[in-house]
Amino acid sequence: MSNKSLFGLIAAVVLAIVVWSSFYIVAETERAVLLQFGRVVEADVPPGLHFKIPYVNRVRKFDGRLLTLDTSTQRFLTLEKKAVMVDAYAKWRIADAERFYTATSGTKQIADERLSRRLEAGLRDQFGKRTLHEVVSGERDALMADMTALLDSMARRELGIEVLDVRVKAIDLPREVNRSVYERMSSEREREAREHRAKGRELAEGIRADADRQRRVLLADAYRDAEEIRGDGDAQAAAIYSSAYNQNAEFYSFYRSLQAYRESFADKRDVMVLDPGSEFFRYLEKSRP
């Protein structure tokens, strides 16, 4: 190969490298800025194929998708000076690529660190304005909405970041006070249980006393009704006996004597010592030929 051909090949390779370095692509999921000797000359490069001057211009690309800042658990004080352990996170994305680059040098770690400090300060301020009940249940949604608005305003102004949402994942008591809180809750539940048991025993005694009273009343009424029925039956029986006796007194006396004989001599071992002329044997005497 001659020197002329070698120089031509080298020139072609250099030209190819220059041409390749003159174009760049920005994806749909990216945000980019074009720099010229370190100075931003195009703040927000749109997605697509673009031209740049090699070795003069430089392109910085950033992730334009929705990103998550997951902070570590922090200790805050509520309005009544009660300590709580808060675990929160924020959802953010780049809103101004130029401001984001100048504020963080385009590094997500730096952006997360600065945003985390702002989030921590904002949460401390929001928790300090509310009671424990409010931050746990009463105004938790309002707290997160206020925190999102405040953090978004600051992040747009200082970091070129849009904060879409701030969420409190968990609110716990510190470990050193967990036991005392649980013990107090347990003692309160035991006190309530004792009160309910005492009320239950009082109601049970009242129910038993009322049941006993009703039982005595029912037995007394039943005994009265039974005695009335028995008395009425005895009276009717006596009337029937009297009517039957009046129809044939002699036959009735004979029938009653036979019943007396049957009952008296039902057992062969029975012994009776009577005067043979006793009235008891009157019908037996009459039956002799």
Q: Tens digits of per-residue pLDDT, 95-125?
A: 888 889 888 888 889 999 999 999 999 989 8
Look up residue 119 and give its amino acid.
L
Evaluate whether 124 touches 151 at the Cβ level (below 8 Å): no
Distance CA 155, CA 149 (A): 10
Distance CA 272, CA 267 (A): 12
Q: Is the pLDDT of residue 34 over 90?
A: no
Domain boundaries, the chain: 3-63, 67-172, 190-247, 251-286
Please give the residue that has the higher pLDDT: either 144 or 245: 144
Tokens of 113: 């660190």
Query: How confident is the model at residue 252, as a pLDDT?
Result: 72
Distance CA 30, CA 33 (A): 10
- Of 119, 122, 101, nearest in space to 110 by CA: 101
pLDDT digits (tens, 9 = 90+) for 131-159: 877 877 767 888 888 889 999 999 999 88
CA angle at 132 for the pair 129 and 135, rounded to the nearest 5°:
70
Distance CA 220, CA 258 (A): 41
How high is the mean pLDDT of the chain?
A: 81
Overall average pLDDT of the 8-15 stretch: 63
Q: Is the pLDDT of residue 1 over 70?
A: no
Overall average pLDDT of the 15-27 stretch: 71
* pTM beyond 0.85, yes or no: no
Say which DSSP state 248 is in. -
Q: Is the pLDDT of residue 193 over 70?
A: yes
Band the pLDDT of 235: cuts 50, 70, 90. Answer: confident
Overall average pLDDT of the 5-32 stretch: 71
Helix/strand/coil (H, E, C) string of 72-122?
A: CCEEEECCCCCEEEEEEEEEEEECCHHHHHHHHCCCHHHHHHHHHHHHHHH
Query: How confident is the model at residue 81, as a pLDDT?
Result: 84
Distance CA 230, CA 192 (A): 56
Distance CA 115, CA 163 (A): 10
Element (H, E) at 48: strand 48-51
Overall average pLDDT of the 280-289 stretch: 57
Q: Is the pLDDT of residue 176 over 90?
A: no
Band the pLDDT of 165: cuts 50, 70, 90. Answer: very high
Q: Is the pLDDT of residue 249 over 90?
A: no
Query: How confident is the model at residue 58, as a pLDDT?
Result: 83
Distance CA 256, CA 276 (A): 19
Cβ partners under 8 Å of residue 150, min gap 6 = 122
- Of 109, 114, 111, nearest in space to 97 by CA: 111
Residue 83 burial (CB count, 10 A): 14
pLDDT digits (tens, 9 = 90+) for 40-75: 888 888 888 878 877 788 888 888 899 999 888 888
Q: Is the pLDDT of residue 94 over 80?
A: yes
Band the pLDDT of 282: cuts 50, 70, 90. Answer: low
> What is the strand order of the sheet 30-36 is part of?
39-45, 30-36, 57-63
Tokens of 245: 């006796």
Overall average pLDDT of the 16-36 stretch: 78
CATH code, 67-172: 3.30.479.30
Distance CA 238, CA 229 (A): 14
Query: How confident is the model at residue 16, as a pLDDT?
Result: 61
Query: How confident is the model at residue 236, as a pLDDT?
Result: 87
Alpha-carbon separation of residue 193 from 54, 179, 187 (angstroms):
81, 21, 10
Q: Is the pLDDT of residue 6 over 70?
A: no
